[in-house]
Copies of this chain bind each other. A is one copy, B any other.
Amino acid sequence: MDVTIYEVAQRAGVSIATVSRTLRGTGPVASKTREKVLKAVEELNFTPSRLGVSLAEGRHAANGIVFPNLSGPYYTEVLLGYEEVASELGRSVLILSTTGRTRVRDLVKDLAGRVDGLLIFGHTAPDDVIAELIQVGMPLVFVSREPLAGADTLRAENTASARLLAEHLALHGYERFAFLGAPLVTGDDVDERWQGVRSVLGAAIEAVPTGHYTVDDGHQAALRLLRSGDRPRAIICSDDEVALGALLAAEELGLAVPDDVAVTGWDDIMAARHARPALTTIRQPMRELGARAARALDELITAARSTPNHLTLTTELVIRASCGHHPQEEPR
């Protein structure tokens, strides 16, 4: 990464413009000249400097992504879908994890200065930074967040799936419910799930907060909940990790799942399938979220589209053992 276009030009006996044209295929080059150039490139093992190219082109050929953390497969899967498509489109991906970070503002702004577009999860970036980015016209796609003017938003369906889940549980005959992992931010995925289940179960469901959406916090909160005098018959959790924590708590207290208490999750992470009892949960198309985000960003960057899109992907209810046997269904 040391040899420059000048050395190639000199060796080939041409100007740097000709070298550039040969390599990029822009403009005409006599085949004899082309050969000379390619030979010199080969001999010197020349690779154009990304920095030089980007500066001259005025674009980074890179996308950024801002997520809280990578614990659990949700962000991971979205990230992979995103990276794969970005890569196909000739862009690199720069990552930024915000959990436990101070100076998130600066980090996001720095990242924005290195890319042509940004995927941002939920509310991981400060609102004023976002406003600023929208203002300067930085292409932005948000995932897992309520629609926002001036930028694309993309999410998996929550409310209707939550209703479906709640109705399914209600048909089991359960009467008292808890929603473990109460929403922390208005308008995010968890909030929509909560709104969905509550619209079906009404006063029969109570919101129980956890500190974070993690196994440990789910575990602690579930312990408190299940020890309390009148414990719910079913616990709908904000996501699978919290649900795994609830499973642990139940086991610890000697409660049988689903016979004493039913538990459901959300996301269908790998551990959900391997937990005992296996978790009833809602699967969302994580990979596809990432892939779509990359495509949307590409449209915005290349100015193929200028008006924001807001898209919602569908989800799937995955019924396993943890919600109990459905009275109207055949056992399997």
Spell out A's residues near B (CB within 8 Å): 1-2, 45, 47, 49-52, 54-55, 60, 62, 69-73, 76-77, 79-80, 83-84, 87, 92-97, 100-101, 107, 109-114, 132, 136, 138, 215, 241, 244, 247-248, 270-271, 274-276
Contact = CB atoms under 8 A, between A and B. Distances in A.
6 contacts: A1-B112, A62-B94, A95-B95, A244-B270, A244-B274, A275-B275
Contact of A76 (B70, B94, B110, B114): B70
Contact of A97 (B47, B69, B84): B84
A83 B95 contact: yes
Given A51-B54, A113-B50, A271-B271, A94 B97 contact: no
A93 to B, nearest CB: 5
Contacts of A138: 1
A33 to B, nearest CB: 25
Q: Which of A62, A107, A270 has the most CB of B within 10 A?
A: A270
B109 A47 contact: yes
Contact of A80 (B1, B62, B70, B275): B70
A76 B78 CA distance: 13
Q: Which of A94, A96, A274, A275 has the most CB of B within 10 A?
A: A274
Contact of A113 (B47, B87, B112, B247): B47
A4 B303 CA distance: 23
Given A84-B100, A244-B270, 4 more contacts: A1-B112, A2-B136, A47-B109, A70-B76
B80 A92 contact: no
B73 A71 contact: yes
A249 to B, nearest CB: 12
Contacts of A54: 51
Contacts of A84: 97, 100
Contacts of A247: 274
A136 B1 CA distance: 7
A37 to B, nearest CB: 19
B113 A1 contact: yes
B87 A270 contact: no
Contacts of A47: 109, 113
Nearest to A278: B276
Contacts of A109: 47
A70 B60 contact: no
A301 to B, nearest CB: 13
A168 B264 CA distance: 37
Contacts of A71: 73, 76, 270
Contacts of A45: 132
Contacts of A55: 51-52, 55
A47 B112 CA distance: 11
B107 A87 contact: yes
B80 A69 contact: yes
Contacts of A271: 270-271, 274-275
Nearest to A86: B95
A92 B114 contact: yes
A59 to B, nearest CB: 9
